[in-house]
Structure 1
Amino acid sequence: MQHELRVTLGAMKNVTVTMEDHVADWARMEAARRNTSVSRLVGEMLAEKMRHDDAYERALQDWLHRERSWVSDGRAYPGREVL
């Protein structure tokens, strides 16, 4: 007799993902290595990608909108040997 226990923390959505056979084989092996499901593995990978992209975008926006404390007078920057 099989039993299934499902615990959902927060709202989750089911999606269908299409991938090449060799990618699916890798995902199954990687999920087994991590003792998780392919679904959970893909969800975690996408969440990590989202966090990375969000952090990059925030850092870029911070840099673009920071107060500039330097102003160029038009001269060339000093070379490495001078610095």
Structure 2
Amino acid sequence: MEYQNITLSIPREVLRRAKHMAIERGVSLSGLLTQMLEEMTRREDEYQKSKEYHIAMLSELDLGTHGNTSWTRSDLHVRQ
């Protein structure tokens, strides 16, 4: 994996706490941030894959309307 240096501007208190978290986990601050970003991007990839799967499932669902409805929203919510 190729690495690239970046510059971050982080609030001092957040940085202090993040350094403590890194020490507690036995990793560098850079390692901690890398782990967190990897987890975030992995979750995003899984979400997108799941979303695409479910949209494909919905497109195959046949409700017998052929994309047309014979009712309006107010028809479905008739108050008596």
The reply to whether TM is greater than 0.5 is yes
Aligned residue pairs, count: 66
Pairwise CA distance, 1:22: 0.9
Read off the aligned partner of 1:71 and give its amino acid letter.
L
Cα offset, 1:46, TM superposition: 0.6
Q: Which protein has the bigger helix share?
A: 2
Q: Runs ≥4 in structure 1, deviation > 6 angstroms?
A: none
- C-alpha distance in 1, partners of 2:64/2:18? 52
Gaps in structure 1 of 5+ consecutive residues: 1-9, 77-83
Q: Which runs of 5+ in 2 are unaligned?
A: 70-75
Confirm or deny that 1:42 pairs with 2:33: yes
Cα 1:35–1:72 shift into 2, 3 Å: same
Name 2:8's counterpart in structure 1. 17
Report whether the alignment pairs 1:71 with 2:63.
yes
Calculate the TM-score normalised by the size of structure 1. 0.69
Name the Cα RMSD after superposition: 1.9
CA-CA distance at 1:72 after TM superposition: 6.1
- State the identity as a percent: 25
Q: Which residue of 2 aligns with 1:80?
A: none
Q: Which residue pairs with 2:18 in the alignment?
A: 27
State the distance in 2 between where 1:37 and 1:72 align. 58
